[in-house]
Structure 1
């Protein structure tokens, strides 16, 4: 295995049911819920392209056709926008559109967990290292988290995970990594623990949904028994892979919002809206007024 073999492909699993967002996700995939004016899944693709990824594999499931449509050309819409003189919208849609042949879609026929979803992409990935982006986890910062993972991978090779720090008392809510020897863009991972018991966490560095993995993980996933939630867990196969291959962690300097939760989804909308030059000031004024009004009601209660 060449430790510096180029990472050209990425997997984005979009097969989940999104039950936490019902009834909004009854007929629409959760990945198509919008952060301001772009669907969640668009942020994942943009981050992958920013990091230099050439080909993205979406792992879908039943009733996810709208995701494929989102990343397809829309001649009728473009023609209508051009006739209306909305050239800025035409340009924006053109920038977001993947180049021909740069995305693939494969099916996960049964909801058997993240590990199984990743395994479903094995034939498209082939014998290459690949990136994995969980679309619910949206990076917010000067650059996407995956770009930092690529920097570290190009330095040390092997397997790389993205991490951030949480409050020590919250470590039991996450997958946690042990911190080893420091390297220029991160540190060596000594071990990984999924949702450790209170007080048993080896650190407060949690996995934030960004990975670069060697293709040997597919062999472990192929034989992986079901774990937590009666699903095939990616972390279990990563632990097996770590017995023979090195893992390093990149500490993301921005912030990741968990848009799989209602709280994180709302936080992300606020953060991205405030960061927008076209609406940021107006959103700030509205939020300030709402907070002041809310505090007044609390004091009066």
Structure 2
């Protein structure tokens, strides 16, 4: 019987420099895809998968994220008084239950591995999920839920992966695939940003993990790696010599919203999936002379 995964960690301390000046005073995680912040999509995915405790690793100027997941009594009263009941229900639906969110600070930008280590006391000695909010996934079933289903079978550590053109693997963390089905195969190795000719596969790590708590001890002793930062990949490589890792080649579409192209693409795809704005959006695209092949 595997220990249940109840906690998810969201590293949200990054500076978002690729979206300046928009992110000068607003966290990049609060940038909206249509009308929902990126961090809300990640939280929705975690809650769908059965996560009960949401841990946010924040930094300076990130207080608005905490406010987003708190009640806004004045706003709620105003919506109620104006009869905007649909909007009020939407706000209440997204609100985590009292006591189900925790916030801790990463006081220096020392890398993703360091951000995860900062959550150690809030996670404790149980397995946890790690979700990078920059990555947005669209599918019938959330990526973390697919991973949870694999975890129930395999236990250990789980990494979500996707297939990319082989010539582009040098921009990603890449895994070596062992035996097993797409929804739970053994991971036999991983390497960060390999040359295409040296890559063990074209399966890249996609920003979703289920990790065992022993990762924290390794991160505490981890020296800096690429970019002078403490890398989660380095700690996972060490942990792989001690514990099993499995991969899930998830079903769905991914958007790297840490890039402008990925972010804009996500907005278009999500807008076209909305019954309330699809037709109007298509009409505007057609007026501009684009999107005529979209129906």
TM-score normalised according to structure 2 size: 0.96
What are the ranges of 5 or more consecutive residues in structure 1 without an aligned counterpart? 295-301
1:178-197 alignment runs, 5 A limit: 178-183=176-181, 185-197=183-195
Please give the TM-score of this superposition, normalised by the length of structure 1.
0.94
Instruction: Show the 5 A alignment for 1:26-105.
Output: 26-105=24-103
Distance in 2 of aligned mates of 1:248 and 1:288: 45
Q: State the shift of 1:289 in Å.
A: 4.1
CA RMSD after TM alignment: 1.3
Alignment of 1:122-141 (within 5 A): 122-141=120-139
Aligned to 1:282: 280
Q: In structure 1, what is the Cα distance between the partners aligned to 2:192 and 2:289?
A: 36
- Work out the CA distance in 2 between the residues paired with 1:277 and 1:228: 44
- Structure 1 position 182, deviation (Å): 1.2
Any idea what the Cα deviations from partners look like across 1:243-264, whole Å, max 9, x if unmatched?
0111001111101111111011
**CA distance in 1 between partners of 2:201 and 2:184 (Å):** 14
Report the 3-state secondary structure (helix = DSSP H, G, I; strand = E; otherwise coil) of the residue aligned with 1:226: coil
Q: Which runs of 5+ in 2 are unaligned?
A: none
Find the aligned partners of 1:291 and 1:166 in 2 and give their Cα distance. 31
Shift of 1:286: 2.7
Structure 1 residue aligned with 2:236: 238
Return the alpha-carbon distance in structure 1 between the equivalents of residues 95 and 84 of structure 2: 17
Report the alpha carbon displacement of residue 293 of structure 1 after superposing the two structures with TM.
Answer: 9.1
**Would the alpha carbon gap of residues 9 and 284 (structure 1) be closer, same or farther in structure 2, given more than 3 Å must change?**
same
How does 1:135-174 map onto structure 2 within 5 Å? 135-174=133-172
Assess, with a 3 A threshold, how the Cα gap between structure 1 residues 179 and 73 changes in structure 2: closer, same or farther: same
Moved over 6 A (4+): none
Structure 2 counterpart SS, 1:183: coil
Residues 289 and 171 of structure 1, relative CA distance in 2, 3 Å threshold: farther
What secondary structure sits across from 1:27 in the alignment?
Answer: coil
Counterparts of 1:249-268 in structure 2, within 5 Å, are: 249-268=247-266
Q: Give distance in 1, aligned partners of 2:57 and 2:165.
A: 33
Cα distance between partner residues in 1 of 2:264 and 2:273: 14
Tell me if 1:107 matches 2:130.
no
Q: 1:91 to 1:220 in 2, by over 3 A?
A: same
